[in-house]
Structure 1
Amino acid sequence: MIAWTDGTWTTPPAASSESGSHLDVTAREGSDAWRHTAYGFVHENAHALLAPLAVGEAMEVSFRAPWDGQFDQAGLYVHADEEHWMKAGLEFADGHLGLGAVVTEIRSDWSVGYVDDWHGSQITVRVSRWADALIVRARADDGEWRLVRVAPFDGDAVASAGPFLAAPTSANLVVRFTSWERSAADEALH
């Protein structure tokens, strides 16, 4: 387990409180992470609690959220610099819960698929860092791991990772993070 106090916030949230093994975090309205593509804007104020992530390591974050505000999102964030990062997890958009990832190399892209049946579950997102890639998996409760993304990532970059949340349009998103762990990276894609 990584202690919540071992991380550093990229942008402080509206509030956070630790109780037992979990951390409750309230997002600031208007928070997000995105660069240029399709929307034309740059947002760099998502709330990510980061600790070092080296090649050969994996990081895992588990959480619960209400998922009722447009674009409410939470998951795991990997950061090298302002133009090279990835966020992966759940986002509520247009009445559906989506599992996906945004990979940013100067410009952001977004891949997403509906997982409406995951509503109300504890979600776990896992990222393994290989020499040239990030391997993203996720699951609901104790279900099967689902491969979300294989994304290029510079193995020479100094990177950090950890839980994140953002609320681009709502003022009441509270995410309960229930665990934050570091381990050896997964050795295989399949």
Structure 2
Amino acid sequence: MPDSYIIPWTDGAWTHSPASVTEIIADDATQLDITAVEGSDAWRRTAYGFVHDTEHALLAPLAVGEAMEVTFHAPWEGQFDQAGVFVKIDDERWIKAGVEYADGHLGLGAVVTHGSSDWSVGWVDEWLSSTITVRISRWPDAVIVRARADDGEWRLVRVAPFSGDAEASAGPLLAAPTRSGLTVRFTRWARTAADDALH
């Protein structure tokens, strides 16, 4: 992967404020413990019929040719506990990618929304105790999602269409649709050049 630039947490703006944010100094770096509001989520219409625009996403601009990486860990316990990266053009066009705890399993996947949401997911229960990194690369016509556990191999998660003409922003995401008390520790937020190949 290309050299990375650490993004200060203060460079981001929240889509919706979380319940609390606590700064932790570790290894000469500032990490964030972020607690989600119960009922927070991002979803539009498909299969469920509802619209949820209450996610907690800390966003900074993401240009074509750039990538963002977000690293985090948490105790995954509540139905639909989730964390990862959010990429947003507007309320009708966005992507969330990362992990979500559902039906007793930790799933790695993405929700791509263009008016309505879809959902692709596969189990990664072996990642339950891991530190997870999600990487989003923005191409002229697509977003490429990769993820890894700890220092493991990068795994391709999704290739999704995404307008290269629109202004977009991206950054850390968390949500807790069904419970209070989900706290995710975000340890790193970085910007790099986008991946130059899929394979």
Classify the TM-score, shorter chain. Answer: over 0.9
Deviations 1:87-109 (A, max 9, x none): 00000000000000000000000
Q: Which residue matches 1:25?
A: 34
Q: 1 CA distance for matches of 2:128 and 2:43?
A: 24
Equivalent residues in 2 for 1:40-79, closer than 5 Å: 40-79=49-88
Q: Which residue matches 1:141?
A: 150
Q: 1 CA distance for matches of 2:10 and 2:24?
A: 12
Q: 2 CA distance for matches of 1:49 and 1:29?
A: 18
Q: Which residue matches 1:112?
A: 121
Instruction: Give the AA of the match of 2:9.
Output: W
Q: CA shift at 1:19, angstroms?
A: 1.6
Shifted more, 19-28 versus 53-62: the winner is: 19-28
Deviations 1:66-116 (A, max 9, x none): 001000000000000000000000000000000000000000000000000
Equivalent pairs: percent with the same residue? 73
Query: Of residues 150, 154, 162 in structure 1, which corresponds to 2:159?
Result: 150
Instruction: Give the AA of the match of 1:179.
Output: R
Q: TM-score, normalised by structure 2?
A: 0.95
Deviations 1:129-182 (A, max 9, x none): 000000000000000000000000000010000000000001010000000000
Q: Which residue matches 2:11?
A: 6
Q: 1 CA distance for matches of 2:34 and 2:125?
A: 23
Instruction: Give the AA of the match of 1:5.
Output: T
Paired positions, count: 190
Instruction: Give the AA of the match of 1:85.
Output: W
Instruction: Give the AA of the match of 1:46.
Output: E
Q: Which residue matches 1:164?
A: 173
After TM superposition, where is structure 1 displaced by more than 3 Å over at least 4 residues in a row?
none
Q: 2 CA distance for matches of 1:125 and 1:170?
A: 24
Query: Of residues 103, 107, 122 in structure 2, which corresponds to 1:94?
Result: 103
Q: 2 CA distance for matches of 1:164 and 1:128?
A: 16
Instruction: Give the AA of the match of 1:72.
Output: D
Instruction: Give the AA of the match of 1:34.
Output: W
Q: TM-score, normalised by structure 1?
A: 0.99
Q: Which residue matches 1:35?
A: 44
C-alpha RMSD over aligned residues: 0.4
Show structure 1 runs of 5+ residues with no match.
Answer: none
3-state SS of the aligned residue for 2:181? coil
Q: 2 CA distance for matches of 1:95 and 1:49?
A: 27
Instruction: Give the AA of the match of 1:99.
Output: L
